[in-house]
Every structure is written in C-alpha cells, then in structure tokens.
Chains A and B, each alone.
Chain A
Amino acid sequence: ETGVTQTPRHLVMGMTNKKSLKCEQHLGHNAMYWYKQSAKKPLELMFVYNFKEQTENNSVPSRFSPECPNSSHLFLHLHTLQPEDSALYLCASSQTSGREETQYFGPGTRLLVL
C-alpha cells in the first residue's frame, strides 16, 4: 500500500460505544495529524504527533483519545461520543524537515454517532 490509509472508512456507533480509528502512513514521515471535517465548517486540527510525541491538542474533548505507538501508526480512540461528533475524520502525515511540510491526507473515516 502507498500513501496514507485509514480504517474503517465508515463507522456508525451509539453514544455508549467505544471504537477506534486507525491511520497508517507508508511515506516515511515523522509527523501525523488528526483533523475533523464537519459540514459547512473549516477543517479543524485536533491532534499533532511529532516523532511519536503529542505536540498539539487543540482543545479537543477527552472523549477523543489519540495514540501514536510509532511514527507510522496513529489511532483515535472514541468513547461516549455525542451526535455532534458525527463528521469525517481525516488523518495526515508530513516530514518535519525544518522547511515546508506538505501534509498528505488519507481518505478519511466517515463517523455517524446515533
């Protein structure tokens, strides 16, 4: 596989469920990102990991819990979500080289919270 992959592509969950989103990058990058894309709103940066260390938490509620076991994998653990959390969750990766850091995106996970 190439690029950035995300699984599952679609997820329906109840408010009491616990689920996880997975992202994997095959680009040799050292930084990974979670974004939330809701209808009619700009992309919202949620979390940033650089060399497996979390360097950004953009005031995200604790019901979203990220995990980055290595530079190639990123997870987003979900629990007790709300209907307003329904959105497209995008993962991205980049190489932090001190210069421009083009981010490459995965296809996203479409999440519906009932």
Chain B
Amino acid sequence: AQSVTQLDSQVPVFEEAPVELRCNYSSSVSVYLFWYVQYPNQGLQLLLKYLSGSTLVKGINGFEAEFNKSQTSFHLRKPSVHISDTAEYFCAVYPVSGGSNYKLTFGKGTLLTVNP
C-alpha cells in the first residue's frame, strides 16, 4: 500500500514570491507521482507528473517538481506566484506495478493562498 503526506495544510504567500509545496510518500513498490490543482468550485486538473527519466519535471502554469527517491519526496515549486495560483494542490502516487493495486493515492491537499 502507499501513503502520501503533504506536510503543510495551508501555505500563504505574497504575489511574486517563490513557493514550495512539500510532498512525501511511502511505498513498498516503485511509484509514479502526480500533482493536481483544484481551483475553487472546480474539479482536479493535472499539473505535472513524474514517470521516469529526469527527476526535474516541468508542468503547466510555470510549476515544476523534483523527484527525490532517497528522500521519497516530490516537492512542487514555482519561482514567482500569481494571485491566480490560489488553489488547493494535491500530491498523488500510483504504483508502477499497476494490476490489481491500481489505486491513485492522494495526500490531504495544501491550500495555497496568494495575497497581493
């Protein structure tokens, strides 16, 4: 089984400041990693994903994340945030082995609030 821990439930930042949203996971098997964003009153939108290869993954809206296998982390970063980035961000993992254990396991989410 897998578990995902998002260390901060809320992150307030000022506009144009850098931000890092932290995600750690636990799994007995290799996993694929995802970040989703949920804007108010909307569903989840895929931001980026790590499958293999380069550990630095670039996504939409200027976000990027780095996979660190030794620390079992997949932190999300943006060098300069905008008011429109205010949303809830979810980290998720999916077992590489798939098969019967195909569940996408989510963290509890981090609410990013960007203030002017």
Chain A contact residues, CB within 8 Å of chain B: 4, 6, 40-43, 45, 48, 56, 90, 92, 96, 98-108, 110
Since A45-B104, A105-B44 are in contact, a sample of 10 more A-B pairs with Cβ atoms closer than 8 Å, ordered by chain A residue number, is A6-B43, A42-B109, A43-B90, A43-B106, A56-B103, A98-B98, A100-B32, A103-B104, A105-B36, A108-B42
| Chain A residues closer than 8 Å to B107, beta-carbon distance | 42
Total cross-chain contacts (CB, 8 A): 45
CB of B102 within 8 A of CB of A96, answer yes
A-contacting 9-mer, from B12-20, B45-53, B72-80: B45-53
Give the interface SS of chain A, mostly helix, strand, loop or mixed: loop
CB of A101 within 8 A of CB of B103, answer no
| Chain A residues closer than 8 Å to B43, beta-carbon distance | 4, 6, 90, 105-108
| Chain B residues closer than 8 Å to A105, beta-carbon distance | 36, 43-45
Using A107-B43, A108-B43 as known contacts, say yes or no to A101 and B102 having CB atoms under 8 A apart.
yes
CB distance from B90 to the nearest CB of A (A): 7
| Chain A residues closer than 8 Å to B106, beta-carbon distance | 42-43
Q: Can you give 19 contacting A-B residue pairs, CB < 8 Å? A: A4-B43, A6-B43, A40-B108, A41-B108, A42-B108, A43-B90, A45-B103, A45-B104, A96-B98, A96-B102, A98-B98, A100-B96, A101-B98, A101-B102, A102-B34, A102-B49, A103-B104, A105-B43, A110-B41
